[in-house]
């Protein structure tokens, strides 16, 4: 099995503060990794290092040759001053075949809004448009940075279901920052709990019992998570490691 991304002991400092310290992450084929952690824990920085926005100060990041990544950024609030349709936005800077656009639009449920102006969309529609754009290149890996943070609860459910569907049907890997762990538990096969360093990682069930997890998120969250029945349809290695 080929690893898509393998980051070993990466450290990033900004203005004298260590944002990431000795973080190691492996994204394998058809993995579903969820990164959790308090605000300012370095979650976005981790994603951005993994997809090559920033070079880590120390440490190594190895990527599979020819790796295609679809990225869904954290905030997307197009201004109404820019008149642009959803279709045009999807086609910006790329020459995608019409059939591919149509297929992806169908997959993400945005067929009916293709001709609408981008700024007119609801939060949920906007996220699905971003997801559609990230799928146009037929990526091996989807990287999503808190994709549902501005959605209401039914919007969140719908969006995570969509990601699950894409994860299963396309056999992609997913690397996602999300606080809504209870909603993505069923698909997640590894949770990385980050607070500048990797506090704990592994299967959601096990992470929930970890003392470091409990001290970061409180007992309630841990109890809630542990209460979820979690079943895997495949076997995988989990490493439940402690650092620091």
Partner 1 sequence: MNLEPFLINAILAGFAVAVITGVMGCFVVWRRMAYFGDSLAHSALLGVALGLAVGIAVNVGIILICSVFALLLLWLQQKKVLATDTLLGILAHSALSLGMVTISVMGQRIDLHSILFGDILTVTRPELWWIYIGGAIVLIMLLMNWSSLVLMTLQEDLAQAEGIRVFLCNLLLMFLMTLVVAVSIRSVGILLISSLLIIPAATARQLARSPEGMAIIASFFGVTSVGLGIYFSFVLDTPSGPTIVASAASLFTLLTIYLQVNKKK
Q: Which residues form the interface with partner 1 (CB under 8 A)? A: 48, 51, 53, 69, 71, 73-76, 78-79, 81-85, 88-89, 92-93, 117-118, 130, 133, 145
Question: Where in the chain does DSSP place strands (E)?
Answer: 3-14, 17-28, 32-36, 58-63, 69-72, 141-145, 173-177, 190-195, 197-202
DSSP, collapsed to helix, strand or coil, labels residue 15 as coil
Nearer to partner 1, 2 or 53 (CB): 53
Nearer to partner 1, 130 or 185 (CB): 130
The single residue listed with the structure tokens 């699950």 is: 164
> What's the DSSP call for residue 117?
B
Contact in structure between 180 and 156 (CB atoms under 8 Å) = yes
Least distance in Å: CB of 142 to partner 1?
12
Least distance in Å: CB of 70 to partner 1?
9
| Residues 152, 5: Cα–Cα separation, whole Å | 32
| Residues 88, 86: Cα–Cα separation, whole Å | 6
Nearer to partner 1, 73 or 157 (CB): 73
The total number of residues shown for the chain amounts to 244
Pick from 192, 120, 127: nearest CA to 156 = 127
Nearer to partner 1, 66 or 83 (CB): 83
Least distance in Å: CB of 174 to partner 1?
16
Paired with 83 in beta bridges are none
Least distance in Å: CB of 90 to partner 1?
11
Least distance in Å: CB of 192 to partner 1?
20
Least distance in Å: CB of 37 to partner 1?
19
| Residues 118, 128: Cα–Cα separation, whole Å | 12
Nearer to partner 1, 118 or 185 (CB): 118
Nearer to partner 1, 133 or 196 (CB): 133
């Amino acid at each position: 099995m080929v690893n898509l991304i393998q980051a070993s002991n990466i450290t990033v400092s900004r203005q004298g503060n260590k944002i990431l310290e000795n973080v190691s992450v492996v994204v394998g084929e058809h993995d579903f990794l969820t990164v959790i952690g308090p605000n300012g824990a370095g979650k976005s920085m981790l994603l951005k290092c993994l997809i090559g926005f920033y070079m880590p100060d120390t440490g190594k990041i190895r990527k599979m040759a020819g790796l295609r990544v679809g990225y869904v950024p954290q905030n997307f609030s197009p201004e109404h001053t820019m008149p642009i349709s959803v279709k045009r936005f999807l086609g910006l800077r790329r020459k995608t075949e019409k059939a591919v656009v149509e297929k992806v639009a169908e997959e993400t449920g945005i067929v009916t809004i293709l001709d609408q102006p981008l700024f007119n969309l609801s939060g949920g529609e906007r996220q699905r448009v971003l997801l559609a754009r990230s799928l146009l290149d037929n990526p091996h890996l989807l990287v999503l940075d808190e994709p549902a943070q501005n959605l209401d609860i039914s919007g969140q459910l719908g969006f995570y279901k969509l990601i699950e569907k894409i994860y299963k049907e396309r056999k992609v890997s997913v690397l996602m920052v999300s606080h809504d762990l209870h909603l993505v538990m069923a698909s997640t096969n590894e949770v990385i709990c980050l607070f500048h360093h990797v506090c704990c990682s592994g299967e959601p069930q096990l992470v929930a019992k970890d003392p470091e997890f409990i001290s970061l998120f409180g007992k309630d969250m841990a109890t809630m998570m542990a209460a979820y029945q979690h079943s895997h349809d495949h076997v995988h290695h989990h490493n439940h490691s402690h650092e620091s």
